[in-house]
Amino acid sequence: MGQSGPGAAMSRRPHDSWPPLIVAAETPTWIKWRDVGLTILMWILFGIMLETEFELVISRNLARLGFSYFYIDANWSEFFERLRPFVRTTVLLVVVLIVAGLLTLRRRRISLLIPPPPALEIAADARRAGIDASALAAARDLPVAVVHIDADGRHRIEAG
């Protein structure tokens, strides 16, 4: 039987617990193969997504290696024309971000200029809470206070 008590959890090895923890020193082989496979798959997907761009940039080098089915003369005006909507969207989002940041800074600066509201007097605060002013003053002096509110709305204050 295993240990019981407060020290029992500390003596357990990581692979004895649930959920199982994958520790770098004990990484299973299938995890390594999965990571390699996913990495290769994502690079292939990346290459497929950017096929036209790769063709425009490296087609001359591929033609030298014997791949001649590529269009060798790069059409840079077409390349940048295709990128124009993405650049416009990026510029728009950056402008919106800058405007939002400036408005936030302005709002913060204005809020720091407004004086804080006056403190509520203890008598008014006690009246609003429905308790005695001396009990509220004593509760404010406690380092930790626990306030119990009964179903009928009465307050009971204990030292925490």
3-state secondary structure 90-156: HHHHHHHHHHHHHHHHHHHHHHHHCCCCCCCCHHHHHHHHCCCHHHHHHHHHCCCEEEEECCCCCEE
Tokens of 88: 């416009």
Q: Alpha-carbon distance 74 to 23, whole Å?
A: 49
pLDDT for position 107: 95
Compute the chain's Rg from CA coordinates.
Answer: 34
Q: Is the pTM of this model over 0.85?
A: no
Per-residue pLDDT for 10 more than 70?
A: no
How many other C-beta atoms lie within 10 A of the C-beta of residue 155?
Answer: 16
- pLDDT higher at 74 or 155: 155
**Model confidence over 67-117: pLDDT tens digits?**
666 555 667 788 788 889 999 999 999 999 999 999 999 999 999 999 988
What residue segments make up the domains of the chain, in order of their start? Answer: 15-113, 122-159
Is the pLDDT at 21 greater than 80? The verdict is no
116 phi, psi to nearest 5 deg: -65, 155
**Beta carbons of 55 and 78 less than 8 angstroms apart:** no
pLDDT of residue 69: 62
